[in-house]
A and B are shown apart, each in its own frame.
Chain A
């Protein structure tokens, strides 16, 4: 059987490249430089179980960060923050992933 990728992203994230984090912060929706694209693809290709997602609290207005669980299980909240700006929520997920993948807090 051909099994679709599950955990194949291998691009290393360099915790020294704060310039890329700054680039993302200043332009969440892109277009982005090639180095930042690689970093984002690495983050976005994390395995599906445990992956972050934005759970809609109020359509078009409010979101919070959840984690995708196993089939049949409710999505889990990551924290209790509620975002009223989609770009802010996207940035918050970026920071969580930076920490997950580099082991370091992202403080700009």
Chain B
């Protein structure tokens, strides 16, 4: 008898926007499983790491949510993307009609999957065109079903699917044909039958759905289609497969019999959630749960890789049963940020008498135009989103080879594995094998909770703990603020710090950082693998980020050819390096290698002994190695490391002050760092496998200091914060905060 190690998590929440400011109100949404009541407090996070040997878990109390205990209730999440036609009334009253679409199924034979439907689950009235359990095309009308038997659809091949219903004659028909003939497979298959006329209910106000059918559950939809659908259309009267196919393949221009009641051209308004009916009847709709748009259609011929320049080849939408954008939970309590609240990392702390608890993270930043400190810490919410609810440990075979130890699973990770309804991260695959390219914060994000998953969020709080230790005031600004406000979000600050892994950067963010630095801003980049992927946010859909993975870089999945341009912005996605902006051109260093198993230390370069850099090394012995300690792998150079390279844009005045040493076989060169694989690309043999600490001045007395390592900040707390990593960081910070710093080059 197998014992299940089910997750014991029974309480989870999120807030409507994790960015708050003094005076603003956050709405918290909580789901409880068997918990009657709980209490909620608000705290300011000093360190979220439970590691007894770390800086010390500390959350300073800020406020209690009053009004007595809060009532626990269960709130489900409903994943599954589909399209809903808003004005389905215009599709009422049809007694004789046909429907057709082009489809590219990705999981045929794995459950019933609806392509088109007007189905009322409660009364079993209406119709649905779907794949049955065997992957065959089926048309269900009321209780009658007509199946194109014996010819299951072929995975990842385009097919035309067709159905006609005639209430007057009582006949219905279904047909399918793969667009490319494949010897040994059925060329086209048809089936016809007598239908139960009463069950069509042509006048019942049943919504028309694409890629799902109506459900009596609160979800409202079920039997989701996995794969691409293109040009779904509804014809007046009974037409044939041939006519429907001719219409679809001609881009909806050709029709020689009957009229078109509705025809949705997904190539229009690709960057939105709208789907546009081009029949002239204006029966428009919207997609739900963010299916993937800007994907290649049946006619994509690789003449363009950019949907903006050939939109008519991008008329498909890729739907997934495990897409989710917004859990849409009800609010359980709210909190208004007091006018005098300090900026910072915050959390709502929920506690039930049963001992169950949750931690809902958010960020308080100043209102625009207000500033409480000279230093801004950039909360890398783009990174937090990219990794939100990652399933890498339980879905990706290589994860243990990467970490070089058996993966540990926390209660949160057990929960995510069992409860896929909370959605995936941009490091994951959908169930159908396609990559996840959207990630939203409108759901519980369990990778931002105190616990053994320390990557990013928890590591970053080591820096906050250190700032607290040295009594350094700071404001927190989020990546999303920089994306929406540009350099204005930064320009009041004398210095900014980016944290352990600011890997994801939108164009607006990049431009803002660059402008800030050139306007005299000073930037401590205290991380590794920063400014690596180009991503996009969308004005219309708050809280969701898009990331397309190209053909190189540390990509957890590889995007389909032709699908590298982002839906939200149209820009090419992928590495900034392949978009002409290597990270070296912004911060002097750029990603070179991973070293997950073990970290190492830095040794100063000859150049670092120049008077120009003396400020950085005050109090550090000239021959000391730097950071041969730390809470991640035992060193300040580790996990992911960046190197200096003038050929990739490190500025001519940038200087390497220290480099990692003794990386050895623990360092593994990243794939974009070589053109031909050889046996000689580990850190024992290849000089690119290293972290470089770099300094350079920017115009108007600005400057940049970069460490190029994820484990720098997790070395700060060593020996009660008395160590040379903390010393150097403080030296540079104090120097950058001085009114007239200099990188010394003036002197």
Binding site for B on A (CB under 8 A): 1-7, 29-31, 37, 40-41, 44-48, 51-56, 59-60, 63-64, 66, 68-69, 71-77, 80, 89-90, 93
Contacts and interface: CB of A to CB of B under 8 A. Distances in A.
B406, B409, B557 interface centre (most CB from chain A within 10 Å): B406
A80 to B, nearest CB: 7
Given A48-B394, A51-B400, A71-B431, A93 B52 contact: no
Interface of B is mostly: loop
A46 B558 CA distance: 21
A60 B51 contact: yes
28 contacts: A1-B560, A2-B557, A4-B397, A4-B398, A30-B404, A30-B598, A37-B665, A44-B400, A46-B397, A51-B397, A51-B400, A52-B406, A53-B407, A54-B406, A55-B409, A56-B409, A56-B410, A60-B51, A60-B52, A66-B5, A68-B417, A74-B7, A74-B417, A76-B4, A77-B2, A77-B4, A90-B405, A90-B406
Contacts of A59: 50, 410, 451-452
A73 B409 CA distance: 14
B469 interface: no
Given A44-B404, A59-B452, A75 B409 contact: yes
A48 B394 CA distance: 7
B393 interface: yes
B2 A5 contact: no
A7 B417 contact: no
B408 interface: yes
Contact of B50 (A1, A5, A60): A60
Nearest to B451: A59
Contacts of B5: 55, 64, 66, 74-77
Interface in B1-17: 2-7
B569 interface: no
A81 B406 CA distance: 16
Contact of A31 (B407, B410, B429, B665): B665
A45 B397 contact: yes
Contacts of A53: 393-394, 406-409
Contacts of A44: 400-401, 404, 406
Contacts of A4: 396-398, 429, 556-557
A52 B429 CA distance: 20
Contacts of A68: 394, 417
A4 to B, nearest CB: 7
Nearest 9 interchain pairs by C-beta: A74-B4, A77-B3, A74-B6, A44-B400, A2-B558, A44-B401, A75-B5, A54-B408, A48-B397
A17 to B, nearest CB: 19
A66 B3 CA distance: 9
A107 B401 CA distance: 25
A48 B39 CA distance: 39
B596 to A, nearest CB: 12
Contacts of A2: 557-558
Nearest to B7: A74
Contact of B418 (A45, A72, A80): A72
A1 B434 contact: yes
Nearest to B412: A56
Contacts of B398: 4-5, 45
